[in-house]
Amino acid sequence: MLELQPSTLNSSQHTFLIKQEAQRLQFDFCGISKAVPLNDDARRLESWLNKGFHGKMKYMENHFDLRTDPTKLVPGAKSVISLLYNYYQNQSSLDKTKPKIAKYAFGDDYHFIIKEKLYELLHTIENRIGNVTARVFVDSGPVLERTWAAKSGLGWVGKNGNLINKQHGSFYFLAEIILDVELDYDAPIKNYCGTCTRCIDACPTDAISERNVIDGSKCISYFTIELREEIPLEMKGKFEGWMFGCDICQDVCPWNRFARQHEESKFLPSDLLTAMKKEDWEELTEEIYERLFKNSPLKRAKFEGIRRNLLFLKDD
């Protein structure tokens, strides 16, 4: 096996190479931060868990040390590369008589699409820099992705808990590469939410309880995706038609007036999805579900979950 030769480039040249390749791979933004323990976040996460804001998401209690210390995830980690990939859809594929689906779930599952790009970026790093120890993440591991994106200057964590980019808002998938290479680090930017409370005021289930703190156990996305039990009856009439996920707190955010249409064809809704009428949803069968959402994020809720959500919305 051919052994990779160590790079003769310096950290600034390595950084330029990585950001240039990220741009080629159509990531919208790339920022880099130093891999250090997240002590402040560890305290906030512990408090959030103790308050039960994770609801039935017991997996959030697992791997606490890995979530808050990147060197536990990647031995010898020195840098965290954070990347943003746009998924904003400027026109809904569903009219007002249909159940609503969060914009991120209109097309194919983003995990596979973005992870493929991450591995391509990592391959370039290995070819140009040399042997590295690294791991890639797309919303699929114990990584505090919004914290790392904020530390690398890609935006700030808003009152709705989303990372908000000053140029184009919050409709982004977040991804990371944690690696044992010293790079040039970006600086965080200030929080530009100011006194705005539009997301707090618009949330129909009062899930945004404090500044930058979300009570996940009250979030529509939690009820329609994560919860495997029956949806509590006290939530009846509060979902505003959302069947899978929810975009309310993002749709009302003033920074999302700068959002732009994505350019990823795999994120576009299928013709079958856009053709669905209200009565088609009411008569959804498992066979149609499998055809509709073969490679979709909606597979996470399973057919039983989607049927439960549709029945819960009925007559609202």
Instruction: State whether residue 126 is helix, strand or coil.
Output: helix
Q: Could you tell me which of 178, 169, 114 has the C-alpha nearest to residue 142?
A: 178
Using a pLDDT cut of 90, give the percent of the chain over it: 78
Strands in the chain per DSSP E:
29-34, 79-86, 100-101, 134-137, 156-157, 163-164, 172-179, 208-210, 213-214, 242-244
The residue from 41, 69, 139, 251 that is catalytic is 139
> Is pLDDT of 210 > 90?
no
Residue 96 vs residue 125, higher pLDDT: 125
Residue 74 near residue 134, CB atoms below 8 Å: yes
pLDDT of residue 26: 97
Q: What number is the average pLDDT over the span 128-134?
A: 94
pLDDT of residue 223: 97
How many Å separate Cα 209 from the centre of its chain? 20
Residue 245 near residue 105, CB atoms below 8 Å: yes
Mean pLDDT, rounded, of the chain: 92
Cα–Cα distances in angstroms (integers) from residue 153 to residues 29, 164, 182, in the given order: 10, 11, 18
The CA distance from 65 to 48, in Å, is 15
Q: Could you tell me which of 231, 172, 230 has the C-alpha nearest to residue 205?
A: 231
Catalytic residue flag (residue 139): yes
User: Sign of the C-alpha dihedral, residues 171, 80, 23, 26?
Assistant: negative
Where do the domains of the chain lie, and which CATH numbers do they carry? 11-88+105-179 (3.40.109), 198-260+269-313 (no CATH)
The CA distance from 53 to 207, in Å, is 9
pLDDT of residue 3: 45
Q: What number is the average pLDDT over the span 11-26?
A: 97
Q: Report pLDDT digits (tens) over 150-191.
A: 999 999 999 999 999 999 999 999 999 999 999 999 999 999
Q: Report pLDDT digits (tens) over 248-286.
A: 999 999 999 999 999 999 999 988 888 888 889 989 999
> Is pLDDT of 199 > 60?
yes
Q: What is the pTM of this model?
A: 0.93
Q: What number is the average pLDDT over the span 295-311?
A: 94
pLDDT of residue 304: 96
Q: Report pLDDT digits (tens) over 33-86.
A: 999 999 999 898 899 889 898 888 888 888 888 999 999 999 999 999 999 999
Residue 102 has phi, psi (to 5 degrees) of: -55, 145
